[in-house]
């Protein structure tokens, strides 16, 4: 299993993807940062849930459930 990316790196890439110019694609940003486009899409989805833009369990809630089990 590959080593996970540092949290700061993921946060920076997500911030760049959210603030991108209209013609810049997620695929281009992913390539520029050296991550797979699907990985970046998953990070964007997770960030949207964590920030309350989409329904779902936040990362903190998910971790608490895993710990409780």
Say which residue, 48 or 69, is predicted with more confidence. 48
Fold of the 7-68 domain: Arc Repressor Mutant, subunit A (1.10.10)
Domain extent listing, the chain: 7-68
Its pTM surpasses 0.85: no
What is the pLDDT, as a whole number, of residue 68? 76
- Euclidean distance between the first and the last CA atom of the chain, given in angstroms as a whole number: 23
Q: What does the angle CA 54 – CA 60 – CA 61 come to, to the nearest 5 degrees?
A: 75
- Predicted confidence at residue 65, as pLDDT, reads 67
Give the residue carrying structure tokens 């990985």.
Answer: 39
């Amino acid at each position: 299993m590959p080593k996970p990316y540092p949290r700061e790196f993921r946060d920076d890439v997500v911030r760049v993807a959210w603030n991108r110019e209209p013609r810049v694609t997620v695929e281009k940003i992913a390539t520029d940062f050296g991550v797979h486009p699907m990985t970046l899409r998953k990070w964007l989805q997770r960030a949207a849930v964590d920030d309350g833009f989409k329904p779902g369990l936040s990362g903190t809630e998910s971790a608490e459930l895993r710990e409780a089990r």
